[in-house]
């Protein structure tokens, strides 16, 4: 497989001869049915430089070229805003999100978000693509956020979320002293009826698993490293609250704001396989100043 910024090339082997192009892309290279439908609409696949139907076959040493980028319109307004980029390649952008910033515009707030800033950056690079966050972070959660630059990368990374090849680690400060040095929080999560978005632990909820490890204990607080096995909305916040140790500053789930005015949660590490080459990549983010200040107050 040869890769360029906006396309991929595959040279057919003997075992590929006669097989439909769409079948090869799906079974051998991981293209989803949805991606193949888009490629069909875009006429985004060629065989030896000529347009080809996905049901057509080829011969050994024929070259399939797949277009990854297609002009996509977005309703989100690009804005020249600060953007702390920690990693970028042809498929992915990873930014260090500041606390208090929305990932995506909402009906009541359509500017000043990560999406606005990313689309401005892409407009300066000549990239016309949709904003595709691989996962979301709450407004007041800081740290690493991954954005896919094309549907191929987005599909591959969401797939990794489900297979655990994409690992997410967080720093968190919980109220109280957690006695165990490590453990697993296993509480199913569901919507809290009539709460306007709050989640709750319920036997009818979706499976949710969070691994935790104590990094340090302070006066009345515990610094944790947590790793998500699943990605439910508010998962860490709900799990720690259910255990009896809510996040410091998380008033929605029982935390107090006397020491910090947002939930003390930071997306600190992403480890994944690059969508094209499958090489392992690790990106880290240092603990933000407000959480450091919180811990220094309790360490005096």
Candidates 138, 181, 186, 261; catalytic one: 138
Give the pair of three-digit tokens for residue 103.
Answer: 């990932």
Per the document, the length of the chain is: 300
Nearest to 233 by CA among 157, 148, 138: 138
Helix or strand or coil: residue 274? coil
138 assigned to active site: yes
Give the pair of three-digit tokens for residue 93.
Answer: 């952008």
* C-alpha dihedral (57, 58, 60, 62), degrees to nearest 10: -140
Provide long-range contacts, Cβ within 8 A and 24+ apart, for 160-163: 160/272, 160/273, 161/134, 161/135, 161/231
Rg, Å, the chain Cα set: 22
Alpha-carbon distance of 52 to 142, in angstroms, equals 45
Helices 33-42 and 151-163: angle between axes, nearest 10 degrees:
180
Q: Which residues have C-beta within 8 Å of that of residue 282, sequence separation ≥ 6? A: 269, 270, 271
CB atoms within 10 A of CB 167: 15
Which residue spans within 41-181 are E strands per DSSP? 45-47, 50-51, 63-67, 85-88, 92-97, 132-133, 142-148, 167-175
- State the catalytic residues: 138
């Amino acid at each position: 497989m040869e890769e360029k910024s906006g396309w991929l090339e595959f040279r057919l082997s003997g075992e590929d001869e006669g097989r439909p192009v769409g079948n090869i892309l799906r079974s051998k290279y991981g293209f989803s049915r949805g991606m193949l439908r888009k490629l069909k609409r875009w006429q985004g696949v060629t065989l030896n430089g000529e347009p080809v139907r996905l049901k057509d076959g080829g011969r050994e040493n024929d070259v399939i070229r797949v277009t990854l980028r297609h002009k996509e319109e977005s309703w989100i307004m690009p804005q020249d805003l600060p953007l702390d980029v920690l990693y970028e390649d042809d498929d992915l952008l990873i930014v260090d999100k500041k606390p208090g910033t929305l990932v995506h515009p909402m009906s009541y707030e359509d500017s000043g978000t990560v999406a606005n800033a990313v689309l401005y950056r892409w407009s300066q690079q000549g990239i016309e693509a949709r904003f595709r966050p691989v996962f979301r972070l709450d407004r007041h959660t800081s740290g690493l956020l991954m954005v896919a630059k094309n549907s191929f990368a987005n599909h591959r990374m969401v797939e990794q979320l489900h297979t655990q090849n994409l690992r997410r680690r967080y720093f968190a400060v919980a109220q109280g002293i957690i006695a165990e040095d490590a453990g697993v929080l296993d509480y199913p999560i569901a919507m809290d009826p009539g709460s306007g978005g709050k989640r709750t632990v319920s036997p009818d909820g979706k499976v949710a698993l969070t691994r935790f490890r104590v990094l340090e204990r302070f006066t009345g607080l515990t610094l944790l490293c947590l790793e998500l096995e699943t990605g439910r909305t508010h998962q860490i916040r709900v799990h720690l609250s259910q255990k009896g140790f809510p996040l410091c500053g998380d008033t929605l789930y029982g935390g107090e704001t006397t020491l910090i005015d947002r939930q003390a949660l930071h997306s600190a590490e992403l480890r994944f396989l690059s969508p094209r080459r499958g090489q392992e990549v690790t990106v880290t983010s240092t603990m933000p100043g407000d959480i450091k200040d919180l811990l220094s107050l309790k360490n005096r």
